[in-house]
Structure 1
Amino acid sequence: MDFENIYIEEDNNLATITINRPKKLNALNKRTIEELHVAFKELDEDRDIKVIIITGSGEKAFVAGADISEFANFSVKEGRQLAAVGQQHLFDFVANLSTPVIAAINGFALGGGLELAMACHFRVASSNARMGLPEVSLGVIPGYGGTQRLPQLVGKGRAMEMIMTAGMIDSDKAFGYGLVNHVVSSEELLPFCMKIASRISNNSSVAIKHAIKAINAGFKYDADGYSVEIDAFGNCFGTDDFKEGTSAFLDKRKADFPGS
């Protein structure tokens, strides 16, 4: 697929996806969602890529929301389909990706932008970042998982307030809420994320895949997270990464994980 609205940069075991619609403050439209789906799928299938960072072009916005002009005249059926397809192709897809995904939030992360950041495995924000779910001010609600992931991250009461007021919070409040893991300057944002990504890439990608699956299971109403953890823990014992990791520990050397 030829990308029009995103570009990808690869450096060793790290890939950075940049959403590049600066005139629209990187707003998500159908084309961008499809491009992101393809990019995440291809990078997840690339065994050389250990971590993915996603960010927005420029300094104003990570993603300032969905492209409202695309769905302003949608029917009930079309609205449901918009949410269902978006969740399946991008937001749930990213949340369940085997490769760790870090959101580098530079500037505004609003509506679908914040929902995309929340679908990532964790988030780092620049000090000028602003986050919110303003959908109710448009007569609609978050439809890309926002009503589910925000309470999981910040608690029900705070999520209710953020969604019902349609307001924005700054990066310091987001950090206090547990919505982001770190707050750094704009200049430090990508280097900081890359430093974390480098630490992650030193570990077993197979074990990380199992850890992501087990952690996510604890937030699903139809899954027993403890049982998933037990199965995933046991499955690790059959991997080459486990053999290498334990051998390296006993031999007092650095592990060189084969990724299998």
Structure 2
Amino acid sequence: MEFENIVAGRKGRIQYIIINRESKLNALNKFTLCELHEALTAAYADESIGGIIITGAGTKAFVAGADITEFADFDAAGGTALARDGQATVFDFIANGSKPIIAAVNGFALGGGLELAMACHIRIAADNAKMGLPEVTLGLIPGYGGTQRLTQLVGRGKALEMIMTADMLTAADALQAGLVNQVVFQADLLPRAEELMEKILTRAPLALAAAIRSVNDAGKDGVNGFETEITEFGQCFGTHDFKEGVAAFLEKRKPEFKGR
């Protein structure tokens, strides 16, 4: 599948999706979001793909925000539609996906770029990464889930501080705040992301998907996450992978999960 603004490539069972607008610091425009949706849809549907790593081209930026030039002529209705469509087709589409997704954050992750990273299930940052939500400097607020996911990750007080000051966090500060899972040297970023993903991909695919759904329901309004967990736990007992996992444990061998 050929794209203009992203590069999609395989490494074993790992699908790479690279935002490829390096001259624009990989800023997200509507066309790039459409391509992201297409690439994600294809990766979800391909049974040979176990997980996805999202990163940005070059070393300066993961994604340095949305393409502000597209905002100039929007009114309230247009802005609402932009946020709603983006949430559905990309950001929620990532967060609620059935396959593990790691953000490899290289350089700036600002605005929509940080929102993209936060939608992923795990974030690994290079030591040169800087992260923030600067929307209030434009008279806006985050519109792709930033107010919600940042609060879940770092807590209400820190989220409000970051959003209202528009200050950036260094990679070290982001790690301390719980915004990222790990910080590594720039040269080690993709190898570390691959290492972590390869470890995850030794686990049962259906159980991974069940874990994502259960964790996503934690604290969700109107949803009892404990009930989700109970249901997903029970469903696992009906899978071939559960039988294989138990058999492998009893036979003291590594399991060979099939995602069935």
The bucket for the TM-score relative to the shorter chain is: over 0.9
Matched, 1:162 2:196: no
Following TM superposition, by how much is the alpha carbon of 1:66 offset from its aligned partner in structure 2, in angstroms? Answer: 0.2
CA distance in 2, matches of 1:178, 1:164: 19
Quote the offset at 1:72 in angstroms.
Answer: 1.6
- What residue number does 1:79 align with? 79
Name 1:114's counterpart in structure 2.
114
- Quick one: distance in 2 between partners of 1:207 and 1:73? 45
Task: Output the amino acid matched with 1:70.
Answer: E
Q: How many residues align?
A: 260
Look up the match of 2:132.
Answer: 132
- 1:92 maps to 92
Q: Which residue of 2 aligns with 1:222?
A: 222
Give the superposition deviation at 1:84.
0.2
Q: Which runs of 4+ in 1 moved over 3 A?
A: none
Within 2, Cα distance between the matches of 1:100 and 1:113?
19
- Secondary structure of the residue that 1:104 maps to in structure 2? strand
Distance in 1 of aligned mates of 2:219 and 2:101: 18
Task: Summarize deviations over 1:127-157 as a string: whole Å, max 9, x none.
Answer: 0000000000000000000010001000100
- Tell me the amino acid that sits aligned with residue 164 of structure 1: M
Q: Deviations over 1:43-95 (max 9, x none)?
A: 01111111100000000000000001011220110000000000000000100
Alignment partner, residue 60 of structure 1: 60
Q: What is residue 19 of structure 1 aligned with on the other side?
A: 19
How far did residue 15 of structure 1 move? 1.0
TM-score by length of 1: 0.99
One-letter identity of the residue aligned with 2:166: A
Amino acid at match of 1:202: T
The CA distance in 1 between the partners of 2:220 and 2:34, in whole Å, is 25
TM-score by length of structure 2 reads 0.99
Matched, 1:142 2:142: yes
**Identity score, percent:** 56
For 1:198-213, what aligned pairs fall within 5 Å after superposition? 198-213=198-213
CA positional deviation for 1:122: 1.1
SS of equivalent residue, structure 1 residue 83: helix
- Structure 2 segments unaligned to the other structure (5+ residues): none
AA matched with 2:27: A
